Amino acid sequence: MVLGILVEDWAIKLPVLNHRDKSISELVVTMLTEEWPLSTKGIHNRLKRLYAREVSFQATHKAIKKLYFEEILVKYGGYYKLNHDWLRQVGKFSNDVIERYGKHQTMLKDLP
């Protein structure tokens, strides 16, 4: 499950934390936070080895292609890594939420 949030013109997708419930796309993003750049074959092999997921090469390729067209990944030659602009937007979103939470200490019992 991915939590999708629209910030300005960017759709920010935040992956779930539980590896068991993650989609292939979420696992690819998680993997690329730790090791990059990786080829499609490298990503596929790591999905099977690190996350014990039975996934076809076609499913891996489809997930990578989707992330690339959503501008979450960038491609250099035959290798993929996370898009720096997307990472900045995720960071900006997180900082904005932290700031709003710091300013507004509304308690649930205070709501009508």
* CATH value of 2-107 in 1.10.10.10, 3.65.10.10, 3.90.230.10, 3.50.50.60: 1.10.10.10
Q: Which residue has the tokens 């720096």?
A: 84
Average pLDDT for 33-52: 94
Sequence ranges of the domains in the chain: 2-107
Positions of E strands within 8-110: 10-15, 38-39, 73-76, 79-82
Of all residues in the chain, what percent carry a pLDDT higher than 90? Answer: 56
Of the pLDDT bands very low, low, confident and very high (cuts 50, 70, 90), residue 98 is confident
Q: Say if residues 38 and 32 touch (Cβ distance below 8 Å).
A: yes
pTM: 0.76
The C-alpha atoms of residue 34 and residue 43 are separated, in whole angstroms, by 12
